[in-house]
Structures are given as C-alpha cells and as structure tokens.
Chain A
Amino acid sequence: MSHASQIDVEASLKRMNLEVEDLVEMLQAAIPYLQDRMESVCQAGRASDNGRIAADAHAIKGTAAVVGMEALQVQARRVEHVAKGILGADLTQEIEQLSVTMESTLRDVPAAVDILSARTQSPDADQRAPGSKY
C-alpha cells in the first residue's frame, strides 16, 4: 500500500500525537502555503534578495518539518544556510534543487492523503497508531 515517498507520515503522527484527520488537514493546508513560499524564494532569487530567500526557505523548512516532509526540510535548510552565508554553495543551484524537491514532495501529498483518509474510514483502524511511510 505504500510507496517510496518524501513524506514521513508515521513520524509526524507519532511525534505530535495527531489524529489522522488532523494530519490530512495539515497536509492539504500545507500545499498552497509551500507553493507560495517557493514562488517567493524564486522571485527573491531572481532579485538576489538573500534575506528574503533565507526567510522563505526557513518558512518552508518549518512547515515541512511539522508535516514530515524530510527531504524538503533538509533542502530548505541548505538554501537558508547558503543564503545566510553559513554554508558555501551555489545559491541558484540550491534553489533549483529546492524547487525539484518541492515538486516531487507535493506530488506525493494526494496519495498520502488518500491512504490516511482510507485509514479513518476503516472501522478497525487505530487512528493514532503509526502508519507506513507514504
């Protein structure tokens, strides 16, 4: 039922002791927020506005961490650190990589939501029990 994915739903459910419905709601709410932030990072990148890049990458990192999008969290942290000058790397390439990671992560959201939703509809489902990594 699961496939290789960028969203560790199990970790989020466990760490935050969430109801499955809440995580579904969080994932759905996270999509437009992350997309807006990614757009903002790209705009700031074109304007070479490193302060804004760092701020938006930080925001992506925070939301990604809360909903269990590990790969996105890691790449957002890299972009934030490069933009702040903590890490030496090509900022443009890092932003491009963030965009790729974002795309693939968000592609996994509907599947994760479907599987979580199916769990809530199953009469035997333990809604707070950890599930698979979707």
Chain B
Amino acid sequence: MELRSKILVVDDSPATIIAVRSLLGKKYRLREATTGEGALDIADSFAPDLILLDIMMPGIDGYEVCRRVRANRRLSHTKVIMVSAATEVSGRLESYEAGADDYLTKPFNAEELLAKVKVHLRLKSVEELDQLKSDVLELLYRETQTPLNGVIEATELLASFDSMDGDERKMFATIANKNALRLHQLFEQVIHLCSLKAGAFEFHLDRNELAAIVQDAVSQANEHARKQDIRILQKLGEPVTLLLSSELGHPVNRGGRRATSARGPFREVDAEIPGQWAIGRSVHTCSESVRRLGRN
C-alpha cells in the first residue's frame, strides 16, 4: 500500500536539493522544483503533504509561493517549512506572516530536518482527521434527517392505526423499509469514505479510456434517470461533469440547480475527456455516483 507522505522540495540550488533528496528520498515521495512558478504547478497536481520551500529564488520568491499555497483550498492542510540561509528574525516573521508553519536555517542539520518533517506530517494527519470528523458529522446530520423522518413517521402510523388494512400496512412498511435502506446505504458510504481517507484502499495509476468509463456510467445511470424524467447528456470531447467519490462535498447540477437529493460524498469535477487518460482505479466509483444522481 502506498502510504508514504508526499513532500515537495523547492530550491534553486541543486546542491540543496541533492542533500534533501538524500535525507528524505527513501522515506517519502519527493518531487522537486527549482522555481516558485514550477513549485506552484507541481503543488497543484501533486498535492504535497509538506513543502520545503526556499525563500530567495529567481522569479516568484518563497513568501509569494507560500501565500498562493495558502490561498489554494486543495492545499489548505499542506504544511510549509521555509528553508533559508537568512538568519535574521525578520525573515522568520515574514515567513510566518506568509502562512508558513515553520522555518529551517541553511545549512540545516539532518536530525532537525527529519524531526520537523515528521512532526509537521503528524500534525497534518491530526488536522485532517479533525476535519474529516467534522465533515462526517455534518454529512450525517444533513443527510439522515429525511430518511430518518420517513422511518419514524411510517412506523408511528403503523403502530397507531389498528384499523389499517393489509395494503396500507404494506405501503407504510415499504416506506419505512426504503428509508431504512437509504440510511444503511448512507452509513456504508460514510464508512467507505473514512476508509478511503485512512488509506485503506490501494490505488494504482493506470491508463484507461475515460470516455468508455463515462459511457458505462451513463448507461447504468440512464435506467434510473428515465424513471425520474432526467435526461443525461453526453458530450465527449467537450468539458463534462464527472462525479468522483473522492471528497466530501455537495454535488451541484449544471445550470445552478442544487442536487440536494443526491446522496453520498461526491464532488463535482469538470474534465476534458481526451482519448487516453491516466487515472486511478477509483474512477469506477464514477458510475456509481452518476447512477445515484440519476436515481435522485
């Protein structure tokens, strides 16, 4: 299982990058950048857990990189350790003002670097766990209200009216059962999400025909969509809406209509569909997501 934390090393000095690679390369997944612009590009796709960031670089300096990282929602939990040959307090203060978590002076000591990296990665995990707890609680609170009421009301009615005939009893029992199943499904999804976040799933990069995956997902969803008078449009080759079960979020339909009835931790993603796309195995959940959207 690939659980190694991701670290982005940013420094225009090759000697420093080699030193960091030597110290961290075997324990962590490293990416390297020699400019601020390059660092921002890599950070966006690599989503590092931690960035070791030089301050003085040609082009965008470390402070500005740090500010932009902090402004990127996707990198909100990423830890930033500034690394600089500057020993003045002003440099440290400016780093913290830019949003850095820590500061390391060149030439750094191996043990100090390793210790700081370890501590900040642990902090990040704790923060993410806290965030996940809040998200899950919010999700459960929001999403359980309707089905729970359905169960309560249907069972109360069943218990209250002795004169109910068989068909009526069956109808209310079915309503209670459907809502209970929805709750069950929701809890399964939450458990799935927590396992995903905890790294309990193994992901492999693989090359897949994204268009075929979307086609498959839409085919599966169509049956449910028809029942709800929903028409699913496929525009391959143009930006399409994909739902990936990767993060907690609120799915929103195109055109601004909020898909409040869509269940599950799905996130809306716009994506161009090229002929080939390197994408993780998790994409199979796309079909499930589209199916659910269609159902609702």
Binding site for B on A (CB under 8 A): 12, 15-19, 22, 25-27, 29-30, 33, 55, 58-59, 61-63, 65-68
Extra 18 A-B pairs, beta carbons < 8 Å, given A59-B13, A63-B15 = A16-B108, A18-B22, A22-B18, A26-B18, A26-B19, A29-B18, A30-B13, A58-B85, A59-B12, A59-B56, A61-B85, A62-B16, A62-B84, A65-B85, A65-B107, A66-B107, A67-B15, A68-B107
The reply to whether B14 and A30 form a contact with Cβ atoms under 8 Å apart is yes
B23 within 8 A of A: yes
- B108 CB to closest chain A CB (Å) equals 7
Can you pick out 9 interface pairs between chain A and chain B where the beta carbons lie within 8 Å of each other? Answer: A16-B108, A16-B110, A26-B14, A58-B86, A62-B13, A65-B85, A65-B107, A66-B106, A67-B15
The reply to whether B13 and A66 form a contact with Cβ atoms under 8 Å apart is yes
Known: A17-B23, A22-B18, A63-B15. A58 touches B56 (CB 8 A): yes
B163 within 8 A of A: no
The reply to whether B13 and A16 form a contact with Cβ atoms under 8 Å apart is no
Q: Which chain B residues lie closer than 8 Å to A12 at the CB level?
A: 107
Within 8 A of A (CB), among B77-135: 84-86, 106-111
Q: Which chain B residues lie closer than 8 Å to A68 at the CB level?
A: 107
A26's contact among B15, B56, B85, by CB below 8 Å, is which?
A: B15
- B209 CB to closest chain A CB (Å) equals 42
Known: A55-B56, A59-B12. A22 touches B109 (CB 8 A): no
The reply to whether A25 and B18 form a contact with Cβ atoms under 8 Å apart is yes
- B52 CB to closest chain A CB (Å) equals 13
The reply to whether B15 and A33 form a contact with Cβ atoms under 8 Å apart is yes
> A interface, by DSSP: helix, strand, loop or mixed?
helix
Q: Which chain B residues lie closer than 8 Å to A19 at the CB level?
A: 22
- B109 CB to closest chain A CB (Å) equals 5
Q: Which chain A residues lie closer than 8 Å to B108 at the CB level?
A: 15-16
Binding site for A on B (CB under 8 A): 12-16, 18-19, 21-23, 54, 56, 84-86, 106-111
The reply to whether B15 and A16 form a contact with Cβ atoms under 8 Å apart is no
The reply to whether B15 and A66 form a contact with Cβ atoms under 8 Å apart is yes
Known: A22-B22, A58-B56, A58-B86. A15 touches B109 (CB 8 A): yes
The reply to whether A29 and B15 form a contact with Cβ atoms under 8 Å apart is yes
Residue in B closest to A52 when the chains form the complex, CB atoms = B58
The reply to whether B107 and A33 form a contact with Cβ atoms under 8 Å apart is no
The answer for the CA separation of A84 and B287 in the assembled complex, in Å, is 60
The answer for the CA separation of A55 and B85 in the assembled complex, in Å, is 11
- Counting chain B CB atoms within 10 Å of each CB, the highest count among A12, A17, A33, A62 belongs to A62
- A59 CB to closest chain B CB (Å) equals 6
The answer for the CA separation of A65 and B86 in the assembled complex, in Å, is 11
The answer for the CA separation of A16 and B111 in the assembled complex, in Å, is 8
Known: A17-B111, A59-B12. A66 touches B22 (CB 8 A): no
The reply to whether B16 and A16 form a contact with Cβ atoms under 8 Å apart is no
Q: Which chain A residues lie closer than 8 Å to B23 at the CB level?
A: 16-18
Q: Which chain B residues lie closer than 8 Å to A63 at the CB level?
A: 13, 15-16
Residue in B closest to A15 when the chains form the complex, CB atoms = B109
- A66 CB to closest chain B CB (Å) equals 5
The answer for the CA separation of A126 and B20 in the assembled complex, in Å, is 21
The answer for the CA separation of A61 and B54 in the assembled complex, in Å, is 13
Q: Which chain A residues lie closer than 8 Å to B14 at the CB level?
A: 26, 29-30, 33
Q: Which chain B residues lie closer than 8 Å to A15 at the CB level?
A: 107-110
Residue in A closest to B13 when the chains form the complex, CB atoms = A63
Q: Which chain B residues lie closer than 8 Å to A59 at the CB level?
A: 12-13, 56
Q: Which chain A residues lie closer than 8 Å to B56 at the CB level?
A: 55, 58-59, 62
- A119 CB to closest chain B CB (Å) equals 16
